[in-house]
């Protein structure tokens, strides 16, 4: 097999063989990581723990056939709790732990926020599993390295516990690692093929990346202009800008998440763009830059996760007079479009499901048409406003989106949809369109007042 066709489960399997680990405990978050692993290598797993589940590839089929014990840890509030409760019921031997008075969307720092609760839940669970005789292979040496595109760090010695990346959690597993190493050999995984980095990179290669490129075209960025990206994630947009501009523009890419920034730096280094992009940790609600520093500020799918008005005020503050700001958010107020040959009622149901399959929206976030009024409220002048669609026609992104949509349906509706997917593939008409609210605005020459 070549690296291009390796799934996440294939990569982890190669890593486990390299380390000589026949049996392991696994803790994860994103279904794109643990779903394939359970399906392809379930016999290696003594147990599976899912913390703040992010179902980026939907709910894997036939979880009831996975016979090892499973633990799902979630906050007890909102849509994330509902999804987690549904998930635990799909496992053959599932347990649920709810963290009281807590919400766990994709960007929640669950381990840092509830370190003791999560540590106790996982430790008690693993002890019970091992009392039943499910004993992992022992880790006997520390170290770090990279195998099959997966980076790993080994801490401590003892029964093997593999920690796959969490979603957007800034601290990832770090607050938990020292506690687990008192008894376990802990193997922390990372890299571009796992977790949120894999999702962001695949999204950038899809119709979403094409949409962002079209929006950036409208900014008319000129050679030499200073560019700021706020909430850069894996750095895909910053890398695209660097390639587009040939290194002629100073580009600063910021994110609040140190884990994601470290992965973004590694990807830029791998692409030979370390000198073209400066990655800096920054809070989008309080940017660490003086007023009027940048000619172009870019912010894509970030306003959903914090105080959108504060972020927009900061973007406005750091942009120079007559500078431009490009913003893109998800559109939970608009239906999707899945081009499937199914009855009209089912088609409407599928399209209406789209907004609920994403990562959610914070209490003060923005993922609807209020974006446009918010922009004008801070004194910005629109040059382009309106919803646009990202079209997914093939590749992993299309498969992931279909998995999420179909996974939310009843068994009978899901069966009809899978048959329709195969029919649409055969006649070449399969696509899914996801809506986003998009804007390019200009800062006026007069100072904006709050």
Q: What is the pLDDT of residues 373-415, one digit of tens each?
A: 999 999 999 999 999 999 999 888 898 888 888 878 888 999 9
* Confidence class for position 1, pLDDT limits 50, 70, 90: very low
Q: What is the mean pLDDT of residues 142-160?
A: 95
**93: domain CATH number?**
3.40.50
Closest CA to 26 of 51, 3, 60, 63: 51
**Domain identity same for 217 and 150:** no
3-state per-residue secondary structure call for the chain:
CCHHHCCHHHHHHHHHHHHCCCCEEEEEEEHHHHHHHHHHHHHHEEEEEEEEEECCCCCCCCHHHCCCCEEEEEECCHHHHHHHHHHHHHCCCEEEEEECCCCCCCCCCHHHHCHHHHHHHHHHHHHHHHHCCCCCCEECCCEEEEECCEEEEEECCEEEEEECCCCCCCCCCCCCHHHHCCCCEEEEEECCCCHHHHHHHHHHCCHHHHHHHHHHHCCCCCCCCCEEEECCCCCHHHHHHHHHHCCCCCEEEEECCHHHHHHHHHHHHHCCCCCCEEEEECECCECCCCCCCEEEEEEECCHHHCCHHHHHHHHHHHEEEEEEEEEEEECCCCCCEECCCCCHHHHHHHHHHHHHHCCCCCCCCCCCCHHHHHHHHCCEEEEEEEEEEEEECCHHHHHHHHHHHHHCCCHHHHHHHHHHHHHHHHHCCCCEEEEEEEEEEEECCCCCCC
Range of the domain at 171: 3-192
Is residue 337 within 8 Å of residue 433, measured between CB atoms? Answer: yes
Q: Which of 192, 223, 255 is the last residue of a domain?
A: 192
**Domain identity same for 289 and 356:** yes
- Look at residue 410 in the predicted model and tell me its pLDDT: 87
**Domain identity same for 227 and 126:** no
Is residue 197 one of the residues assigned to a domain?
no
Is residue 370 one of the residues assigned to a domain?
yes
For residue 282, count CB atoms less than 10 angstroms from its CB and return exposed for 0-12, middle for 13-18, buried for 19 or more.
buried
Question: Is the pLDDT score of 297 beyond 60?
Answer: yes
Q: What is the pLDDT of residues 39-75, one digit of tens each?
A: 998 999 999 999 999 988 888 878 888 999 999 999 9
**Domain identity same for 174 and 220:** no
**Domain identity same for 162 and 35:** yes
What's the rounded Cα separation, in Å, for the pair 188 and 27? Answer: 10
Q: What is the pLDDT of residues 104-150, one digit of tens each?
A: 988 899 999 999 999 999 999 999 999 998 899 999 989 999 999 99
**Domain identity same for 40 and 101:** yes
Is residue 362 one of the residues assigned to a domain?
yes
Q: What is the mean pLDDT of residues 96-107?
A: 94
Is residue 361 one of the residues assigned to a domain?
yes
Provide the pairing of β-strand 158-163 with 138-139.
antiparallel
Q: What is the mean pLDDT of residues 3-32?
A: 91
**Residue whose structure tokens are 């040059």:** 383
Is residue 311 within 8 Å of residue 297, measured between CB atoms? Answer: no
**Domain identity same for 130 and 87:** yes
Is residue 253 one of the residues assigned to a domain?
no
- Look at residue 201 in the predicted model and tell me its pLDDT: 94
Total domain count, the chain: 2
- Look at residue 446 in the predicted model and tell me its pLDDT: 57
Is residue 359 one of the residues assigned to a domain?
yes
Number of C-beta neighbours around residue 219 at 10 A = 22
**Domain identity same for 212 and 186:** no
Closest CA to 38 of 96, 87, 111: 87
Task: Output phi, psi for 137, to 5 deg.
Answer: -65, 145
Q: Which of 192, 219, 243 is the last residue of a domain?
A: 192
Q: Which of 164, 192, 220 is the last residue of a domain?
A: 192
**Residue whose structure tokens are 């593999």:** 162
* Confidence class for position 81, pLDDT limits 50, 70, 90: very high
Is residue 260 one of the residues assigned to a domain?
no
**Domain identity same for 125 and 216:** no
Is residue 450 one of the residues assigned to a domain?
no
**Domain identity same for 289 and 151:** no
pTM: 0.89
According to DSSP, the residues that pair with 283 across neighbouring strands are 286
**Domain identity same for 97 and 217:** no
Residues 6+ apart with CB under 8 A from 2: none
**437: domain CATH number?**
3.40.50.150
**Domain identity same for 96 and 54:** yes
Q: What is the pLDDT of residues 163-211, one digit of tens each?
A: 999 999 999 999 999 999 999 999 999 999 999 999 999 999 999 999 9
Which tokens hold the place of 19? Answer: 């380390």
Q: What is the mean pLDDT of residues 11-40?
A: 95
Residues 6+ apart with CB under 8 A from 75: 52, 81, 98, 99, 102, 103, 104, 108, 110
- Look at residue 448 in the predicted model and tell me its pLDDT: 44
């Amino acid at each position: 097999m070549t690296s291009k066709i390796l799934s996440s489960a294939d990569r982890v399997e190669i890593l486990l063989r390299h380390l000589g680990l026949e049996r392991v405990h696994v803790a994860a978050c994103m279904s794109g990581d643990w779903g394939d692993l359970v399906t392809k290598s379930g016999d290696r797993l003594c147990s599976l723990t899912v913390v703040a589940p992010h179902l980026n590839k939907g709910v894997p089929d036939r979880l009831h056939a996975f016979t090892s014990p499973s633990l799902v840890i979630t906050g007890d509030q909102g849509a994330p709790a509902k999804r987690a409760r549904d998930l635990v019921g799909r496992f053959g031997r599932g347990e649920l732990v709810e963290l009281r008075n807590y919400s766990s969307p994709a960007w929640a720092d669950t381990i840092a926020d509830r370190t003791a609760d999560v540590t106790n839940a996982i430790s008690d669970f693993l002890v019970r599993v091992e009392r039943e005789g499910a004993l992992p292979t022992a880790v006997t040496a520390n170290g770090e390295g990279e195998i099959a595109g997966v980076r790993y760090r080994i801490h401590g010695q003892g029964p093997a516990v593999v920690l796959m990346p969490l979603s957007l959690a800034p601290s990832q597993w770090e607050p938990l690692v020292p506690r687990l190493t008192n008894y376990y050999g802990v193997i922390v995984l990372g890299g571009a093929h796992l977790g949120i980095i894999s999702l962001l990179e695949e999204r950038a290669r899809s119709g979403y990346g094409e949409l962002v490129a079209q929006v950036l075209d409208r900014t008319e960025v000129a050679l030499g202009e200073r560019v700021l990206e706020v909430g850069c994630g894996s750095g895909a947009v910053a890398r695209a800008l660097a390639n587009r501009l040939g290194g002629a523009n100073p580009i600063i890419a910021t994110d609040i998440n140190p884990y994601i920034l470290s992965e973004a730096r590694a990807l830029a280094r791998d692409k030979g763009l370390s000198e073209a992009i400066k990655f800096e940790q920054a809070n989008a609600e309080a940017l660490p830059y003086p007023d009027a520093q940048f000619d172009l500020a870019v912010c894509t799918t970030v306003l959903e996760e914090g105080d959108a008005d504060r972020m927009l005020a900061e973007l406005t503050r750091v942009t120079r007079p007559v500078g431009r700001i490009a913003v893109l958010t998800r559109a939970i107020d608009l239906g999707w479009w899945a081009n499937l040959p199914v009855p009209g009622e089912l088609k409407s149901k599928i399209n209406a499901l789209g907004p609920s399959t994403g990562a959610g929206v914070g209490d003060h976030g923005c993922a609807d048409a209020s974006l446009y009024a918010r922009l004008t409220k801070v004194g910005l002048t629109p040059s382009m406003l309106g919803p646009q669609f990202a079209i997914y026609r093939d590749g992993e992104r299309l498969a992931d989106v279909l998995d999420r949509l179909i996974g939310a349906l009843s068994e009978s509706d899901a069966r009809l949809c899978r048959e329709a997917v195969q029919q649409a593939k055969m006649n070449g008409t399969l696509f899914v369109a996801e809506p986003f609210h998009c804007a390019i605005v200009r800062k006026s020459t007069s100072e904006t007042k709050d």
